[in-house]
Amino acid sequence: MFEKVKQIFQSDKEKNLYETGLAKTRESFVNSLNKLAKKHPKIDEQYFEELENILISADIGVETVLKFMEKLSQRVKQERIINSEDLKEIIVDELFVLYVEGESLTDKINYQESLTVLLFIGVNGSGKTTTIAKMAQRLKSEGKRVMLIAGDTFRAGAVEQLCEWGRRLEIEVMHGLNQDPASVIYEGLEKAKENYDVVLIDTAGRLQKKTNLMAELDKINRVIGKLVPNAPHETLLVIDATTGQNGISQAKSFNEVTKITGIILTKLDGTAKGGIVIAIKDVTKIPVKFIGLGEKLEDLQTFDIEKYIYGLFKEW
């Protein structure tokens, strides 16, 4: 599988972004794997114990790692693998299989022929507002008519930040400081239905008051659904990858509050624990749809598991 991935993406421009963006994780992860193979040329219990620790250190998560190690151990027995060097390809294959899990992954955005509504959720500080701006720029460059709605109405900084991005990108922003979020969203959607293709809606991220957030999101969803059939068409949870396992806890908590259709992992280039991509999909069963691999607007990339695996194991 890994050789196939290398061939497929050899001339792909996005390959460099994945390589560069995953450099911190790759350096730590692959170095540890190489040292392990030299230390234990023959597979034994000690090898498996140390491999388990390496995977956990990469933030793949204890629950996910235990499942992975069980499958790996079974393959070693079934295929009578003795040398750790021969296990490299199998480790890569099994991580890929663990992410995909035989599913037809819905990693694409569910765009509509008429107005598409994308609702963004996530805790404050996750990079949600900047991610919305990056997504808006991406859509605008594709020729789509885009509107932003500042639904985090009681946080002046969030409204100001989104309005500033709107000015920079020359994209209209509907906002109303200290107003009911649902009413601001209602006004925005009424206008968007006239002449826009995609609406991106920011929301509050006060997860510590889960009951209030649930009520607010429920009201927002009802308002959106009344104005635009079957909307929101995507509810995207934005998670800061550098928070590690805390990001998985956030995903679980938000999933209890509202239905999430996809995850956006920001700041993946800023962590040496990029294994969270595997863990978060395995634990939540929600696909990662976009990853942030840098600060520039174009550094928000559609997630591709094969490119991710290549970027992670390139130097192995």
Q: What is the CATH number of the domain that holds 31?
A: 1.20.120.140
- Angle between helical axes of 23-39 and 305-313 (0-180°, round to 10): 60
Which pLDDT value is given to residue 4? 52
Answer yes or no: is 215 within a domain.
Answer: yes
d(CA 114, CA 198): 9
Its pTM stands at: 0.91
Please state the domain count of the chain.
2
Domain holding 78, by residue range, is 11-100
Average predicted confidence (pLDDT) for the chain: 91
**Average pLDDT value for residue range 111-118:** 95
pLDDT-derived band of residue 173, with 50, 70 and 90 as boundaries?
very high
Answer yes or no: is 182 within a domain.
Answer: yes
Instruction: Count CB-CB contacts under 10 A for residue 41.
Output: 11
Whether 154 and 285 share a structural domain: yes
**Average pLDDT value for residue range 173-190:** 97
pLDDT exceeds 50 at position 11: no
Whether 123 and 237 share a structural domain: yes
pLDDT digits (tens, 9 = 90+) for 117-126: 999 999 988 9
d(CA 306, CA 104): 14
Whether 142 and 285 share a structural domain: yes
Answer yes or no: is 295 within a domain.
Answer: yes
pLDDT digits (tens, 9 = 90+) for 216-229: 999 999 999 999 99
d(CA 84, CA 42): 6
Whether 95 and 122 share a structural domain: no
Which pLDDT value is given to residue 257? 87
pLDDT digits (tens, 9 = 90+) for 14-63: 677 888 999 999 999 989 999 999 999 999 999 999 999 999 999 998 99
CB 287 within 8 A of CB 281: yes
Q: Single out the residue of 74, 99, 37 nearest to residue 275, CA to CA.
A: 99
Q: Single out the residue of 309, 313, 308, 291 nearest to residue 300, CA to CA.
A: 291
Answer yes or no: is 4 within a domain.
Answer: no
- Angle between helical axes of 181-195 and 210-227 (0-180°, round to 10): 30
pLDDT exceeds 50 at position 271: yes
Answer yes or no: is 137 within a domain.
Answer: yes
Q: Is the peptide bond before 41 cis (omega within 30 degrees of 0)?
A: no
